Amino acid sequence: PIFVITPTFARPVQKAELTRLANVFLLVPNLHWIVVEDSPQKSNLVKNFLHRSGLKYTHLNIETPSDMKLKSKDPHWSKPRGVFQRNEAIGWIRNNFQAGEPGVVYFADDDNSYSIELFQEISETKKVSVFPVGLVGGVMVEKPEVVSGKVAGWSVGWGKDRPFATDMAGFAINLSYLLSHTSAKFASKVKIGYQESEFLKHLIHFEDLEPISVDKVLVWHTRTENPNLNQEKKFLKTNGHSSDQGLEV
Amino acid sequence: PIFVITPTFARPVQKAELTRLANVFLLVPNLHWIVVEDSPQKSNLVKNFLHRSGLKYTHLNIETPSDMKLKSKDPHWSKPRGVFQRNEAIGWIRNNFQAGEPGVVYFADDDNSYSIELFQEISETKKVSVFPVGLVGGVMVEKPEVVSGKVAGWSVGWGKDRPFATDMAGFAINLSYLLSHTSAKFASKVKIGYQESEFLKHLIHFEDLEPISVDKVLVWHTRTENPNLNQEKKFLKTNGHSSDQGLEV
Ligand SMILES: O=c1ccn([C@@H]2O[C@H](COP(=O)(O)OP(=O)(O)O)[C@@H](O)[C@H]2O)c(=O)[nH]1
Ligand SMILES: O=c1ccn([C@@H]2O[C@H](COP(=O)(O)OP(=O)(O)O)[C@@H](O)[C@H]2O)c(=O)[nH]1
Ligand SMILES: [Mn+2]
Ligand SMILES: [Mn+2]
């Protein structure tokens, strides 16, 4: 199967985002969704959502420690996001599968946009595949530079000297390969933009990367606006209850 | 069929947005997507995208006149958006179908989030159905107030006195019913927030509205951030070409 690991956290757009992910995942054969909530408890919203999704899934949760947690006033890139959750998912995979079993692992944040074709492309990953990601790193597209079928460098707008100048959405890992590299996990303290490099350096040498779909953008690092809820207070005052009383948004 | 009408315009996130729509539409039986570009010519991006989508579609285009067009510095609600495009699609439907044929018409902006279930619910629309929309109008959810199975008012954060206080994403129309009301179209000059009311008043009396899925949010008025492309200029200078040269994002 393709194991898709998605960290997620409670906010007004959460269910909308998860709905968009479930839509594309339903079109992918043999996908196993590992959803990891950034919360001390599993929420009913995510629990019920997954239960009714029609997808094969595993529901986990782990709260980001408060000193590591992005505060609402922090710039969004100032703290690593989803790190504890991705590690939790990797731990679950290590506990439940053994090297030799077929599969691919992919990290799919809940706000990105995914094409169906992406999952066909990554499904052939032997060790670690890398591919273009749209709308990330201050440019229209970040991608591996490929010479004679090998990764020769990175076409990026900044941090070209990073060992693996790719976004979280820009690589996939063979399941057995991940399982046989037991030290691979994400670090909670890492230079900004080095999260992926930190992780991948445990796994692979640069020259062994498999560049795939190099002339196509199949995933986009979109971000969803925080909705304007500036009438909600007035609504509460006028009506004595919030607009979403008795109804899950 | 369910005719889904989507105005769309060229911008960095366009293909990502259309990809997310195509994903959910592929899961809906008997859907016909009418995509109307806000442009003087059909773009290759949209043309190729639709061609490869696997969906039944009609591709149209009409440019919003420049005095009606939202400029990049205007607040996004200051001009009607998608009005000429929706009218173009309605015109196409009127030219190609006749009252008596089964079908439902729905306006699906390209940046909203849709659940599969929405399309099951609206497919039974006899005249005009109305239903909740999440994350719109400054509140978590706008919805019809229902008493004894009839719409009795609107649960909204502002403009409760609008004749039809619903968002573009909050209603669907029976095809034959639309065809037999030949005056129904969108107006290009209309008080802010009255677009839907202007259109619906041609079609139906308030008391004949069909409230559906009143206890569920099946569509969300999400908005996607404009991506930060602040490294693109530097990229061009360093590399002599843009980051997306030879590759469609
Ligand atoms: O406090 C947080 C913030 C983010 N995330 C998740 O971590 C991933 C990456 O976060 P985000 O998309 O905000 O990062 P960016 O778009 O800035 O790279 C997403 O799946 C989020 O849902 C999380 O679990 N806890
Ligand atoms: O100049 C424009 C701006 C918007 N739109 C389309 O009109 C619809 C509504 O626009 P938007 O989602 O920006 O409106 P809002 O979210 O502010 O209601 C969307 O399908 C857009 O793609 C368009 O065709 N031309
Ligand atoms: Mn993100
Ligand atoms: Mn919109």
For residue B48, the SS3 value is: helix
Name the token pair of A173.
């890992």
Q: Kindly tell me if the per-residue pLDDT of A72 is higher than 80.
A: no
pLDDT band, residue A188 (cuts 50/70/90): confident
**Is A196 designated active site?**
yes
Residues of A (43-72) whose Cβ lies below 8 Å from B: none
Q: Kindly tell me if the per-residue pLDDT of A221 is higher than 80.
A: yes
Residue A231: which of B137, B228, B243 has the nearest Cβ?
Answer: B137
Pocket test for ligand 1, best of A109, A112, A220, A221 (most atoms within 8 A of CB): A109
The reported pLDDT for the residue numbered A203 is: 95
Q: Is residue A138 within 8 angstroms of chain B, CB to CB?
A: yes
| Whether the CB of B8 sits within 6 Å of ligand 2 | yes
The reported pLDDT for the residue numbered A54 is: 98
* Pure H helices in B9-62: 14-25, 44-52
Q: Kindly tell me if the per-residue pLDDT of A80 is higher than 90.
A: no
Alpha carbon of B86 to those of B63, B71, B185, B191: distances in Å? 12, 20, 8, 18
Residues of B (188-217) whose Cβ lies below 8 Å from A: 215-217
| Cβ distance of A227 and B221 shorter than 8 Å | yes
For the entire predicted model, the pTM comes to 0.97
pLDDT band, residue A82 (cuts 50/70/90): very high
Q: Kindly tell me if the per-residue pLDDT of A138 is higher than 80.
A: yes
Predicted confidence (pLDDT) per residue in B85-107, tens digit: 999 999 999 999 999 999 999 99
| Cβ distance of A135 and B244 shorter than 8 Å | no
Residue B69 CA to residue B79 CA, distance in Å, equals: 7
The reported pLDDT for the residue numbered B29 is: 97
Chain B, nearest residue to A145 by Cα: B243
Q: Kindly tell me if the per-residue pLDDT of A137 is higher than 80.
A: yes
pLDDT band, residue A73 (cuts 50/70/90): confident
Q: Is residue B236 within 8 angstroms of chain A, CB to CB?
A: no
The reported pLDDT for the residue numbered B188 is: 86
| Whether the CB of B214 sits within 6 Å of ligand 2 | no
Q: Is residue A236 within 8 angstroms of chain B, CB to CB?
A: no
Closest CA to B212 of B135, B158, B133: B133
Contact A220, B15 (CB under 8 A): yes
| Cβ distance of B215 and A157 shorter than 8 Å | no
Mean of the per-residue pLDDT values for chain A?
Answer: 96
Q: How far is the CA of B88 from the centre of ligand 2 (A)?
A: 15
Q: How far is the CA of B109 from the centre of ligand 2 (A)?
A: 7
Mean pLDDT of A73-98: 90
Predicted confidence (pLDDT) per residue in B176-216, tens digit: 999 999 999 999 888 888 999 999 999 999 999 999 999 99
Which has more confidence, A188 or B37?
B37
**Minimum-distance ligand 1 atom for the alpha carbon of A77:** 17
Dihedral through CA B196, CA B112, CA B83, CA B199, nearest 10?
-20
For residue B129, the one-letter residue type is: S
Which percentage of chain B shows pLDDT scores above 70?
100
The reported pLDDT for the residue numbered A70 is: 74
Mean pLDDT of A223-238: 97
Q: Kindly tell me if the per-residue pLDDT of A76 is higher than 80.
A: no
Which percentage of chain B shows pLDDT scores above 90?
91
| Residue B210 neighbours by CB under 8 Å, 6+ apart | B125, B126, B127, B128, B129, B130
pLDDT band, residue B139 (cuts 50/70/90): very high
**Minimum-distance ligand 2 atom for the alpha carbon of B82:** 7
Cross-sheet strand order for the sheet of A31-37:
A56-61, A31-37, A2-8, A104-107, A171-174, A128-130, A210-211
| Whether the CB of B63 sits within 6 Å of ligand 2 | no
Contact B103, A196 (CB under 8 A): no
The reported pLDDT for the residue numbered B209 is: 98
**Interface predicted TM-score (ipTM) over 0.90:** yes
Contact B213, B114 (CB under 8 A): no
Closest CA to B143 of B114, B110, B167: B167
Q: Kindly tell me if the per-residue pLDDT of B72 is higher than 90.
A: no
Predicted confidence (pLDDT) per residue in B55-68, tens digit: 999 999 999 998 88
User: Radius of gyration over alpha carbons of chain A, in Å?
Assistant: 19
User: Radius of gyration over alpha carbons of chain B, in Å?
Assistant: 19
Q: Is residue B12 within 8 angstroms of chain A, CB to CB?
A: yes
Predicted confidence (pLDDT) per residue in A1-36, tens digit: 999 999 999 999 999 999 999 999 999 999 999 999
Q: Kindly tell me if the per-residue pLDDT of A77 is higher than 80.
A: no
pLDDT band, residue B14 (cuts 50/70/90): very high
Residue B13: which of A132, A135, A227 has the nearest Cβ?
Answer: A135
Question: What is the distance in angstroms between the Cα of A108 and the nearest Cα belonging to chain B?
Answer: 14
The reported pLDDT for the residue numbered A74 is: 78
Q: How far is the CA of A51 from the centre of ligand 4 (A)?
A: 29
Question: What is the distance in angstroms between the Cα of A181 and the nearest Cα belonging to chain B?
Answer: 33
Bridge partners (DSSP) of residue B3 are B32, B105
For residue B140, the SS3 value is: strand
For residue B185, the one-letter residue type is: K
pLDDT band, residue A189 (cuts 50/70/90): confident
Contact B40, B11 (CB under 8 A): no
Q: State how far Cα A146 lies from the chain centre.
A: 24
Q: Kindly tell me if the per-residue pLDDT of B76 is higher than 80.
A: no
Mean pLDDT of B141-163: 96
Predicted confidence (pLDDT) per residue in A93-128, tens digit: 999 999 999 999 999 999 999 999 999 999 999 999
Name the token pair of A128.
């670690």
| Whether the CB of B61 sits within 6 Å of ligand 2 | no
Mean pLDDT of A211-226: 98
Question: What is the distance in angstroms between the Cα of A18 and the nearest Cα belonging to chain B?
Answer: 10
